[in-house]
Structure 1
Amino acid sequence: MASNAAVPFWRAAGMTYITYSNICAKHVRNCLKEPFKAEALNRENVHFSISKWVDGKAEKPILRSDTPGV
């Protein structure tokens, strides 16, 4: 029989652990002083490519660069 008393606060707030950890990381990055803050914010950038597949062959990839929170 499970007790609700042992439920982590992020779960009780209706969040997933990933959401909770992203919020914590964002606050830590915002508390840093320069130049460490700029370096940490730069590491947030995400780079990836998307390729459509037609008749079993990949078409030319589309390069993307997205930043979280935008």
Structure 2
Amino acid sequence: MASNAAAPFWRAAGMTYITYSNLCANLVRQCLKEPYRSQALNREKVHFSVSRWTDGKPEKPILRSDTLDG
């Protein structure tokens, strides 16, 4: 068995790997110079549509564009 000393530091800090990865990605994006910073921030955006279903048929979808704020 592995001891707790061999555990990754993100786990020892009480984080999940996804949380740690998002934190690192945000730090790297903030360190970039223009125009690379704005390009990286634009890639962070998420686009999706939401449709409600009534009587087994979808209603008109609502288009959304949100950013990931971790």
TM surpasses 0.5: yes
Tell me how far 1:49 sits from its aligned partner. 0.5
* 1:32 alignment partner AA: L
Unaligned 5+ segments in structure 2 are none
The answer on 1:54 being equivalent to 2:46 is no
Unaligned 5+ segments in structure 1 are none
**TM-score, length basis structure 2:** 0.89
**TM-score, length basis structure 1:** 0.89
* 1:41 alignment partner AA: L
Aligned pair count reads: 70
Q: Which runs of 4+ in 1 moved over 2 A?
A: none
What fraction of aligned residue pairs are identical, expressed as a percent?
Answer: 76
- Give me the whole-angstrom Cα distance separating, in 1, the residues matched to 2:56 and 2:13: 45
Give me the CA root mean square deviation.
Answer: 1.5
